[in-house]
Structure 1
Amino acid sequence: MTTSHAIRRAALGVATASAVVLLAACGGEKDTGTHAAHGAPAASATADAHNAQDVTFAQGMIPHHQQALEMARLAPGHASSTEVKALAARIEKAQDPEIRTMTGWLKSWGEEPPMTGMDHSRHGGMAGMSGMMSADDMTALENSEGADFDKKFLTLMITHHQGAVEMAHTEKAKGRDSRATKMADDVIAAQSAEIKQMKGLLGEK
């Protein structure tokens, strides 16, 4: 009886070990299949997901946003209107992260981001971009104070925003990367609302 019992225990141990090995093998096959199912398509989905318009949008909107930040950062020390100061702070809060996001896209696409730290308001190559301020415009804004600054800021920023909205509409029509076209939607929505607000502050309709 003792020998028979030992044989049965040994057989049970072998069967259990075999089951563990079989389950591990099945689990490994399942994991491999999961990686193949989820990994490969994701890689192919991101490949060639952008086009030349997406690159143009990011390379143009980065310096466009940077000039808006230059303008907005003048408000705390020059503006007299609390509404103008609040608007400038909101512009900075929205557009600074968008610059970092678009810079990341360009790097991931193997494209060259615009030079950081460049004074885009005075860079001749940017002057023809839709809504961009000239060097004279920026100098006049820097040299103004109080109510005069408020009026100049609002007038110039309306034009600046209108240029950004125009660029965003082009991206929506011709762009391919879903992240870039989504940002274009955000630019249109946010900046159109701010244009309406700024016109209201100027007493325009």
Structure 2
Amino acid sequence: MSLSDDRIARWARQLLVPGFGEDVQERLLGARVRVVGVDAVASAALVYLVQAGVGRLWLDDPEDVSPADLSGWLFPPSAVGSSRVDAARSALAPLSAFVQVDRYPTGGVPSAALVCAPSVVQAVTAAEAARRAGIPHVVVEPDGDGGAVISVPPGAPCYSCARSAAGAGRPPEPGVAALAALGAAELLHLMAQPGSVAGRRVELVRGVATARPTARLAGCACAGAQPAEA
């Protein structure tokens, strides 16, 4: 099935990117991405994914908008005290008529996941659920004025193998926007070209990104998820 004329017009520039044609755009439109954590850290990533044409975003966050969330790209001061998911849906709705943004449904089966969880425990739990489901996922790990993005395609070393053992906490703007956008770009790469991207950790320090392959820790349960030929 080919893209309709209105969808081609919406993503005309994106379709010109080498390696990113109609087939890839259709794949994105058919995707269901679970986003864990919808605070200021995730804001730029949500905007990125919607404008790139991911068909359905499932937002998973039980908390309300706090004053700290206003440093992101989504929430106006009037949203403080309201549900983060509801406020994010309202802010994202005008960005694309072809994307659905909903609350994560209990028992929903995503095809990919972006983890922007506010704690290490929540991040590990969400990433492990994605690993067990065999879906590509990316974890955004803020740290001081930068942080890291960990890409985990199926079969790669898991987030627990690649995560930082210590961190300085969630960064303020503008570092968090760059980090979140990088996380969204990594996830799009995993979805657009399945099997072509190895697991990696991308560090963002003072605006400079460096990448290295992730390595599996001895005895980690994720070893059982390796491809048969590995």
TM-score, normalized by the shorter chain, greater than 0.5: no
In the superposition, the TM-score normalised over structure 1's length comes to 0.29
Higher relative contact order (CA 8 A, sep 6+): 1
Higher relative strand content:
2
- The structure whose Rg is larger is 1
